[in-house]
Amino acid sequence: MSDAEEKLRDRYLQLWLSTIKESPTATFQLHGGITVQGKLRATDSENNRFRVDRLESPMGTYDRANGMCK
């Protein structure tokens, strides 16, 4: 791995470590115009799957949920 790649990887990992530490509220727009929100906790390496805690939806609040983007 080159020095530049190593620096980018480190910055990327630091971003997610600080995100998990701060646990920001994330808002998601779903198909059909539905809006939900919860505490962002994690993502996969491709940033297309997310773990959310306390997801507030029109059907109630879920302690933990996983979402996927397309």
In the chain, where are the structural domains located?
3-68
Provide the residue type at 32 as one letter: G
Q: Return the exposure string of 1-40: e unless at least 16 CB atoms fall within 10 Å of the residue's CB, then b.
A: eeeeeeeeeeeeeeeeeeeeeeeeebebeeeeeeebebbb
3-68 CATH pick, 2.60.120.260, 2.30.30.100, 3.40.50.300, 3.30.420.40: 2.30.30.100
pLDDT at 62: 98
pLDDT at 8: 92
Which parts of the chain fold into alpha helices (H)?
3-22
The tens-digit pLDDT sequence of the chain (70 residues) is 899 999 999 998 898 888 778 888 999 999 999 999 999 988 887 888 999 999 999 999 999 999 998 7
pLDDT at 57: 96
Task: Burial-class residue 68 by CB neighbours within 10 Å (0-12, 13-18, 19+).
Answer: exposed
User: What CA–CA distance (Å, rounded) separates 11 from 17?
Assistant: 10
